[in-house]
Chain A
Amino acid sequence: MLVSVSILTLLAVTAIAIARIGDLWAAVMFTGIFSFLGASWMLILDAPDVAFTEAAVGAGISTVLMLGTLALTGKKEKPTKSSPIVPLFVVGVTGAALIYGTLDMPHFGDRHSPVQTRIDPGFVEKSQPDMHGLPNVVTGLLGSYRGYDTLGETAVIFTAGIAVILILRREPKEKETERSTGKKGKSL
Chain B
Amino acid sequence: MTLTEFFGLYNYWIVVFLMMTGFYIVIARRNMIKTVIGLNIFQVSVVLLYVTMGKVTGGTAPIIPPGIAGHSDGEHASSHGSHDAHEVVDHAHQHAADAAEIIYSNPLPSVLMLTAIVVGIATTALALALIVRISEDYGTIEEDEILLMDRRQ
Chain A residues with CB under 8 A of B9: 102-103, 105, 107-108
Contacts of B69 in A (CB 8 A): 128, 133, 135
- CB-defined interface of A143-172 with B at 8 Å, one 1/0 digit per residue? 000100110010011011101100110000
Interface residues on A, range: 35 or more
B44 touches A124 (CB 8 A): no
A65, A95, A98, A121, most chain B CB atoms within 10 A: A121
Partner of A91, one of B23, B105, B119, B142: B23
Residue tally, chain B, CB below 8 Å to A: 98
**Distance in angstroms between the alpha carbons of A24 and B52 in the assembled complex:** 30
With a CB–CB cut-off of 8 A, which chain A residues contact B92? 121, 124-125, 137
A61-78, CB under 8 A of B: which get 1 and which 0?
Answer: 110011011101110011
Among residues of A, the one whose C-beta sits closest to the C-beta of B119 is: A156
List chain A positions with a Cβ less than 8 A from chain B: 1, 4-5, 8-9, 11-12, 15-16, 18-19, 24, 27-28, 31, 34-35, 38, 41-42, 45-50, 53-54, 57-58, 61-62, 65-66, 68-70, 72-74, 77-78, 80-82, 84, 87-88, 90-92, 94-95, 98-99, 102-103, 105-113, 115-117, 119-129, 133, 135-138, 141-142, 146, 149-150, 153, 156-157, 159-161, 163-164, 167-168, 185, 188
Contacts A95-B17, A168-B133, A188-B129 known; 6 new A-B pairs at CB < 8 A: A4-B11, A47-B61, A47-B110, A53-B114, A80-B29, A108-B7
